[in-house]
């Protein structure tokens, strides 16, 4: 179930940062967006983590001004963090994966490697069966 209805306790802060980053030069965007991941993932409020990750993923995937290269870098780093167990709560991690997949779905061919990497463990265990049928993870 996508987390789009969840809001961060301080959504204006994340939205403000994302708006500031939009005006950066292309070479400065990747480090800026990547800098948000540790900040978001270090929060103790799981609702804030989920909501702010949704905002970040939605921005890097769906804003043409961000660019495909930056979007792939941010998604790859998110996948690495999720796979590295930085989020201990299994339900939260699963919700983030589901929401990320739902956000990326319209542009899945552009992010196929990142999608495959993030879904592989879940498809292998059939935890995201409905989502896995929609993506090229090899476990349909």
Residue 78 pLDDT > 80, yes or no?
yes
Q: Is residue 56 part of a domain?
A: yes
Q: Is residue 74 part of a domain?
A: yes
Q: Residue 27: which pLDDT band, with cuts at 50, 70 and 90?
A: very high
The structure's pTM equals 0.78
Q: Number of structural domains, the chain?
A: 1
Q: Is residue 137 part of a domain?
A: no
Predicted pLDDT at 137: 47
Q: Is residue 3 part of a domain?
A: no
3-state DSSP helix/strand/coil % of the chain, to nearest 5:
70, 0, 30
% of the chain exceeding 70 in pLDDT = 76
Q: Is residue 99 part of a domain?
A: yes
d(CA 114, CA 133): 16
Q: Is residue 109 part of a domain?
A: yes
Q: Residue 138: which pLDDT band, with cuts at 50, 70 and 90?
A: very low
- Domain range for 113: 11-132
Tally Cβ neighbours within 10 Å of residue 18. 20
Q: CB-based contacts of 60: which residues, under 8 Å, 6+ apart?
A: 33, 66, 70, 71, 74, 75
């Amino acid at each position: 179930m996508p987390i789009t209805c969840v809001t961060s306790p301080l959504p204006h802060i994340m939205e403000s940062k994302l708006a500031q980053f939009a005006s950066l030069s292309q070479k400065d965007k990747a480090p800026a967006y990547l800098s948000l991941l540790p900040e978001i993932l270090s929060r103790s409020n799981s609702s804030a983590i989920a909501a702010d990750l949704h905002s970040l993923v939605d921005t890097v995937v769906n804003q043409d001004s961000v660019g495909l290269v930056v979007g792939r870098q941010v998604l790859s780093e998110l996948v690495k963090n999720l796979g590295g167990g930085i989020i201990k709560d299994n339900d939260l991690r699963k919700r983030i994966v589901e929401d990320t997949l739902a956000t990326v779905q319209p542009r899945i061919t552009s992010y196929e490697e990142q999608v495959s990497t993030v879904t592989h463990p879940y498809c292998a265990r059939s935890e995201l069966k409905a989502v896995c049928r929609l993506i090229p993870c090899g476990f349909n």
